[in-house]
A and B are shown apart, each in its own frame.
Chain A
């Protein structure tokens, strides 16, 4: 390989993330990393093809944006419908929605940690790629693999026993829910709690041990400061289902608090870019160059003042001390914060399942079309998402805007990839383990790329090096 040739490295696709993407790394003449671009590849076009349909269909259509966070889409969607009708769901409906949303958060976090990320921690970044997956974990750590699989199963069951389906839920309607929770299902779900708590605790010990043993890597891993956005309750508490927005700067100063999600356009704008189907959102008051913000578990814990439950609160306090109460910027801490949220999920689920009203049959308020416009938001496992619908007087959609969680991490993902590439990829010395580290940066964000472009895509698995004219000079097969 002629080291004076200017080259691009393509990693395609990025595996073991929930979606597909390509990364290209541009080297300069000396073989140093010059730039890195994160290409999100595919597009499905929900914003257009929903036009002309009735707004009430949206809670059923929009989960199909993403099979990993369908419930968050359904909830943001149904809240937009409720704004159009000018009604609120019943108390019990809110409990059931919270429960099924917790279920999705838990199953998604379990998938991200145990299935997709733990192979890196337990088997090593440079271990045999053929075994670096959940089945490899099952061979070496069978108990842990089964625990991870079962934690995800509990999350999926919360959804199934409330809505009748694990994926692409049914039975959510403006004003509430279509089916009540039976006593039998309530009891069955409660039986899961002790095992689920135990599994999350094991995960937390595992990640802490990894932090200790790899502190240099963890603390130098894509650590650039950004702004943060998350949903909080009225007292700044951690919130996933229904709350107000809080924006925080890199030093921990609250920029905006208790913002009604319906006003999102005052604070968020986005820009299309040539190299990706995923747009670049930013905090509007600071502009495109200075307004990068992050969402998701790290952002939610950074902006929150407290957790709602004791075990999660104890862990949250440890997290908060890591940077003296200021936001923690290290991208690697997404994993830890994801597990703290999982702990909170299980505790909150137990509380809700013990609420005497949870099996009530007063589950829906009736409404009708009253206002032309509706905006709804929710916290998907990967961050805040917004659905914005405009309708004509018959209730037909005339404009749809979807601002999705992963999209908001896009600028930071791109920058984090560049930082890690600069650290680990040097000139001709490009090994599979290093490429996997670049990929694992993306994996920290647990991006759900089908969501964020409302689609996904794929390509043959190889790394291609191109010269400045775009000619293929060398192909790396990943071993």
Chain B
């Protein structure tokens, strides 16, 4: 039981599709559960980010909160995996980088054709602050492994997890699972 691993899955600026693809490993999630505990994830209840062996991080860094979170994850996770194209290279989440943040914000909250003329723009202290530009994980922290794909296929995700859980380094090109988009 001593070598039972701890896994966290994290969701930053992205669509959750990578997490859904993780769930697409279907019954094999029970095989993962035999080797590891999923201690923090959007699909389980958990405490503050714990010390883990593997952190699968979906999404780009789009805000102050994401920035602090990925820093914390780097401190507490032995292996940080950029999980999916948004984490690896910002992908669709990074498409807003072509426009000034204010224009992007105003398109939704000020100039939108279905908006009425009342109300106020989001500015509560409880809300995260958007960064001017969206960046991939490796611009903020060192990343140990990348799984590209939008989303990566369930087979690819299972392969990577299973290799790490058995103390092997996965090789995506060798098993022909390297794919973007």
Contact = CB atoms under 8 A, between A and B. Distances in A.
B69 A41 contact: no
A115 B45 contact: no
A135 B27 CA distance: 11
Interface string B107-120: 11110111110111
Given A45-B96, A146-B27, A167 B115 contact: no
B44 A459 contact: no
A48 B99 contact: yes
B11 interface: yes
B119 A20 contact: no
Interface of B: 10-21, 23-24, 26-27, 29-30, 33, 38-40, 42-49, 59, 62-63, 65-66, 69, 72, 91-93, 95-96, 98-99, 103-105, 107-110, 112-116, 118-128, 130, 150-151, 154
Nearest to B116: A269
A265 B29 contact: no
Interface stretch (A173-181, A241-249, A250-258, A274-282): A274-282
A307 B23 CA distance: 30
A388 B114 CA distance: 10
Given A272-B120, A457-B65, A45 B105 contact: yes
A15 B44 contact: yes
Interface stretch (A61-69, A193-201, A295-303): A61-69
B124 A461 contact: no
B129 to A, nearest CB: 10
Contacts of B115: 269-272, 279
Interface of A: 10, 15-20, 22, 24, 37, 39, 41-45, 47-51, 61, 64-68, 70, 111, 115-116, 129-130, 132-135, 138, 145-146, 149-150, 152-153, 156, 166-168, 264-265, 268-277, 279-281, 288, 388, 399-401, 403, 436, 448, 450, 454-462, 470, 477-479
Given A22-B126, A401-B112, A271 B118 contact: yes
Contacts of B91: 64
Contacts of A47: 107-108, 112
B114 A168 contact: no
A462 B48 contact: yes
A316 to B, nearest CB: 29
Contact of B24 (A41, A156, A272, A280): A156
24 contacts: A16-B43, A18-B16, A22-B126, A43-B105, A48-B104, A64-B150, A66-B16, A67-B14, A67-B15, A129-B46, A135-B30, A135-B33, A135-B44, A138-B33, A167-B21, A168-B151, A269-B116, A274-B120, A277-B127, A288-B116, A388-B114, A399-B113, A455-B13, A457-B128
A460 B11 contact: no
Contacts of A51: 107
Given A115-B23, A150-B27, A403-B114, A461 B49 contact: yes
Contacts of A281: 114
A460 B48 contact: yes
Contact of A270 (B66, B93, B116): B116
Contacts of A275: 122, 124, 126-127
Contacts of A145: 30
Contacts of A135: 29-30, 33, 38, 44
A149 B27 contact: yes
Given A115-B23, A288-B116, A470-B125, A458 B10 contact: yes
Nearest to A66: B15
Given A276-B124, A462-B48, 18 more contacts: A15-B45, A39-B124, A64-B15, A132-B45, A133-B44, A149-B29, A166-B20, A166-B21, A166-B154, A168-B151, A279-B115, A288-B118, A401-B112, A450-B15, A455-B13, A457-B65, A458-B12, A479-B47
A41 B46 contact: no
Contacts of B99: 45, 48-49
A67 B92 contact: no
B62 A460 contact: no
B65 A459 contact: yes
A167 B26 contact: no
Contacts of B20: 67-68, 166-167
A265 B93 CA distance: 28
Contacts of A18: 16, 42
A24 B128 CA distance: 14
B119 A41 contact: no
A401 B47 contact: no
Q: With a 10 A CB-CB cut-off, give which of A37, A269, A448 has the most chain B CB atoms.
A: A269
Pairs A-B, 10 closest by C-beta atoms: A67-B17, A45-B104, A271-B119, A48-B107, A133-B44, A129-B45, A275-B124, A49-B95, A67-B16, A64-B92
A202 B169 CA distance: 42
Contacts of A279: 108-109, 115
B121 A68 contact: no
Contacts of A269: 114-116
A273 B109 CA distance: 9
A400 B29 CA distance: 39
Nearest to A448: B16
A458 B65 contact: yes
B13 to A, nearest CB: 6
Contacts of B121: 272, 274
Nearest to A52: B98
A272 B109 contact: yes
Contacts of A153: 24, 26
B119 A401 contact: no
A135 B150 CA distance: 26
B93 A44 contact: yes
A189 to B, nearest CB: 16
A37 B127 CA distance: 12
B16 A68 contact: yes
Contacts of B72: 460
Nearest to A61: B92
B30 to A, nearest CB: 6
